[in-house]
Structure formats: C-alpha cells, structure tokens
C-alpha cells in the first residue's frame, strides 16, 4: 500500500441478512391459535365423526399463513447504494436472501442491477431497482420516495456507492478530486440525512457506511479517495452521536483489498507485493464484507454497537 504501484489496485479496497420474526410473529401466531380455540367443540365433534385429520390440516395451513403474513409485514426495508456489483451486490443479495425488502441502487449498470433484483426474487425475497446518482440531492430524494411508495418505510441504509480517480497529488486535477468527494462523501451525507428523517419518526434504524482502510492509513496516489473515506469515518461517528437518542445505530466498515475485476487483472509480481502486506495472505471476498453488513443490520447482538469502525482487511491494519 505504500507505493504508487499499488494505487490502481487500491481501487479494489472498499470501492466499488433473515431478520428475527420477533414478538409480532408470535403474537399473530397466538392470535391464530386463539381464533381456532373457540371451535374446540366443533373439532371434538369432528374427531368423533372421523374428520379430525382434515380439520387439523386446515388449522395448520391457516396458522402457517398467519406466520408468513406477519413475517412479510416485519421484513426490514433496506436501501443499498452502488449495489450492481462488488461489495454492494454481495450485500444486496445477502440481505435479500435473509428476508429483507431491498432497493438496489445503481448509477449506470442497469442490466447488472436488474440481475441482482431477479436473484433476490428467485430466492423468495422482494427487490426493486433504482437508477440514480447519490451525489445529487434530487436523485436521493427520489430514491427514498421510491422505497416509501413501495414498502412504506426504510429500516436500513447501506452507503456503499463510490468511485476512484487515482493519481499522484501533483498530477491530480480539481475535477478528479471533486468527483470522488462528491460521490464518496457528499453522497453518504445526502443519503444519511434523507434516511434519518424517516428513521427518526419511528425511533429505529441502522446505517452502515462502507469506508476503507485507506481512510485510516492513507495510500499513495489516492489523496481524493483517502480523504473521502476518512470523511465518511468522521461523519459516521458524529451521526452516531447525534442519533443515538433516537435508537439509530450508525457504523462504518473499512475493508482492505477485496477481490474484484480489477485485482484479477493485476500482474503476478504486483499481486505478490500486495499479498505480502496482508497477514492472512489473500484478498477478502465481497461476501465476507456482506456478512459483516448483515450482522450489523439484522442481528440483535449488534444493537449495542454504534459509532464504530470495523476493519475487515486480513490483518493489514492492527
């Protein structure tokens, strides 16, 4: 990471699961049992008439339907930005397969985003796609409205969208600086501000920001990207403090080198040099980052975690 030769590879560094049914499901199920409890005498007569098996099957079917309906109502609504490939795609798929209703955001890769959505639906989940630039306030507002119009709320926001424009500082144009800051940092600000307005009303929500280890340690040739990711980390901690009283958890994940199309194209010598800086001796997988996102978003064990930066980097930063 300390040489300019690795700058291109560092674009892969953080660049671009089922929620518990809970008391409501149990309550609905109990209401289902109670509704049939009043027919106990009828069931007794059915037993005497030899029709118990049919009634029992019917009761079981209705109870199952009640539980399924409650689960659908409870399924968390999630927005994942930059979800057409890489970490974003893996995250959208993990959360969708875990039972969430997922808005798959993309900027240009509409075909890939549709494929992600279809894969979620094929697993029994619900998903919609939304094309929009999260660095533009109007696009962000439209994206939030799309989720609200479809599902009525937003429970989880995963800020993943990002770009790189790598070059040494002495050669960096202002436009290269600004493009990265606008999407990677301002985009997180805009999405977070819009989502928290919804989460505040119900005093509940989870926000997970995908940062990067370069936001912690820097990287040659990535002044813009490192600054943006460091900004995301500072933003995460501040928002966590501001919204803790509203029961909104805000955390950041800082991935290291994650396998991608870009890392697959690196030469053997450069790859060896990069891997030598990683104690575990390999690239991370997008699915491993997605697993951490899923934990923070859905697992009750994560409810007491907020304002934290969790590195997932094979031991690069320790």
CB-based burial, 163-183: b 16+ in 10 Å, e otherwise = bbbbbeeeebeeebbebbbbb
Counts of helices then strands in the chain (DSSP H, E): 13, 7
Of 224, 227, 229, the C-alpha closest to 213 is: 229
In order of 160, 181, 187, 222, 237, the CA distances from 175 in angstroms are: 21, 10, 16, 14, 28
Whether residue 185 contacts residue 236, with contact meaning beta carbons closer than 8 Å, is answered with no
Whether residue 15 contacts residue 162, with contact meaning beta carbons closer than 8 Å, is answered with yes
Q: Is 225 a catalytic residue?
A: yes
Name the phi and psi angles at 78, rounded to 5.
-125, 140
Of 77, 309, 82, 127, the C-alpha closest to 90 is: 82
Annotated binding site for NADP(+): 82-85, 160, 225-229, 258
Q: Looking at 106, 225, 243, 283, which residue is catalytic?
A: 225
Q: Which residues are catalytic?
A: 225
């Amino acid at each position: 990471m300390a040489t300019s030769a690795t700058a291109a590879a560092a674009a892969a560094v953080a660049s671009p699961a089922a929620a518990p049914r809970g008391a409501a499901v149990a309550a609905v199920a109990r209401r289902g049992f109670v509704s049939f409890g009043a027919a106990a005498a009828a069931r007794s007569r059915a037993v005497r008439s030899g029709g118990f098996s049919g009634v029992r099957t019917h009761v079981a079917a209705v109870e199952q339907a009640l539980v399924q309906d409650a689960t659908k109502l409870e399924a968390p609504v999630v927005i994942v930005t930059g979800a057409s490939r890489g970490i974003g795609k893996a995250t959208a798929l993990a959360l969708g397969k875990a039972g969430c209703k997922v808005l798959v955001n993309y900027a240009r890769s509409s075909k890939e985003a549709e494929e992600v959505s279809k894969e979620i639906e094929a697993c029994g989940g619900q998903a919609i796609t939304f094309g929009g630039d999260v660095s533009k306030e109007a696009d962000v507002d439209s994206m939030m409205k799309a989720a609200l119009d479809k599902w009525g709320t937003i429970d989880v926001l995963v800020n993943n969208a990002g770009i790189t424009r790598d070059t040494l500082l002495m050669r960096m144009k202002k436009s290269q600086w600004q493009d990265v800051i606008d999407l990677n940092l301002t985009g997180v600000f805009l999405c977070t501000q819009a989502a928290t307005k919804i989460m505040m009303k119900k005093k509940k929500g989870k926000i997970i920001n995908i940062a990067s280890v370069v936001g912690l340690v820097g990287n040659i040739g990535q002044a813009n990207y490192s600054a943006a990711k460091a900004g995301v980390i500072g933003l995460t901690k501040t928002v966590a403090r501001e919204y803790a009283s509203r029961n909104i958890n805000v955390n950041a994940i800082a991935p290291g080198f994650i396998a991608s199309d870009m890392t697959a194209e690196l030469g053997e010598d450069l790859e060896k040099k990069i891997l030598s800086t990683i104690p575990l001796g390999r690239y991370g997988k997008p699915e491993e980052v997605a697993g951490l996102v899923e934990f923070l978003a859905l697992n009750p064990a994560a409810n007491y975690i907020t304002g934290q930066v969790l590195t997932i980097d094979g031991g690069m930063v320790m």
